[in-house]
Amino acid sequence: MSFPALGVVIVSFNATDVILDCLDSLLAAPDVVLHIVVVDNASTDGSADLIRTWAAGQAGARQTPDLPFPVPHRKEALPLHDRVPDTSEHATVTLLEAGVNGGFAAGVNIGLAALHQIPGLDRFWVLNPDCIVPPQTPAHFATYQPPGGAFSLMGGRVRYIHDPDQLQSDGGVVNRRSGVTSNVNRGCSHARTPRPDPGHLDFVSGANMVASRAFYDRAGPLPEDYFLYYEEVDWALRRGDMPLALCPKAEVFHHTGTAIGSATSARIGSPFAVYFMYRSRMRFMRRHAPRWLPYARAYALAKAGQLLLKGHYRHAGAIWSAVRGGRVPKGIRARLSPQAATRAFSSLPHS
């Protein structure tokens, strides 16, 4: 009996605390053949070596926080490839090392290009390394046929690991005047909240999105000039008449912001995350809604003022620098290696 196949791209950056739970949860999935590509974005915490140790069956026992469901820790060795096998009837895991942290989209694009070479593989799932996956989700993503059949990007429900009944995202919308993006149903109860009509969405979460081969062939790779944030929003706007879809039975659980300090319902984002969020928002507006760019800038600077009044001086300064396009704060530049900083800030003055 043959099972449906699904490609998976996981971009890992300093993810030693979460990556093995993600991989273990994927490999426990029944009724699907997963071709998993982990792209390591020049991690400095030994992520790539940890994955090799895990693949060799030598990771040993590990403690994990309370999870919404049991994730079996794989102890058996499995082949770890350095290039994606052309064909396989069984799950495969490939580790590709990017060599430099070129940002989220650059890492995803390495994985997508590799999976695109597999004949007959029609769906590519982009998944964050700080997600864990219920056993049936991969098969649902591999087989669900939305109304009309064809789709560009497919999403699934994203729930918080720390509070499994609380939703992080059922897809997203973007305000075309301010550029602010919103996760639909964020903070709502999973048990009491129906999924939205995908026709009302502008994008699906980049932490958990499935691209069809037809969409990838039409839209090309993700735009890499954002470095962080807004890549999936921009990508979704390239879909033309190909609709977005939501898989009604697919869901993942997400830690959120483990590597870069993204905002959650309980905390403000780190200055690093805030800087890139607002820089990418301005870039998005210049590209897709230039007439509203002055409004978007004013809205952002008003937010900086609010943070300043609350004593969040570094966050306010990050927004100011991002909106003005001026010098990058030293603390933000210092978070990146010289090579990564060159990729991220090549068009900006040095601090």
Q: Measured at the alpha carbon of residue 350, what is the angle toward residues 293 and 15, in degrees to the nearest 5?
A: 85
As to burial, measured by CB atoms within 10 angstroms (0-12 exposed, 13-18 middle, 19+ buried), residue 62 is exposed
Asked if residue 294 has pLDDT above 80, the reply is yes
For residue 158, the SS3 value is strand
Q: What is the mean pLDDT of the chain?
A: 93
Query: Could you tell me which CATH number the domain at 5-254 has?
Result: 3.90.550.60
pLDDT in tens, 87-120: 778 999 999 999 999 999 999 999 999 999 999 9
pLDDT of residue 350: 37
Give the domain ranges of the chain. 5-254, 271-345
What is the Cα–Cα distance from 110 to 235, expressed in whole angstroms? 16
Phi, psi dihedral angles at 8 (to 5 degrees): -130, 130
Asked if 92 and 79 count as a contact pair (C-beta separation under 8 A), the reply is yes
Helices (H), the chain: 19-27, 47-55, 104-115, 137-143, 213-219, 231-236, 271-288, 293-309, 313-324, 330-333, 338-345
Asked if residue 267 has pLDDT above 70, the reply is no
pLDDT of residue 351: 34
pLDDT band at 348 (very low <50, low <70, confident <90, very high): low
pLDDT of residue 86: 82
pLDDT of residue 269: 82
pLDDT of residue 349: 42
pLDDT band at 321 (very low <50, low <70, confident <90, very high): very high
Phi, psi dihedral angles at 177 (to 5 degrees): -95, -45
Q: What is the pTM of this model?
A: 0.94
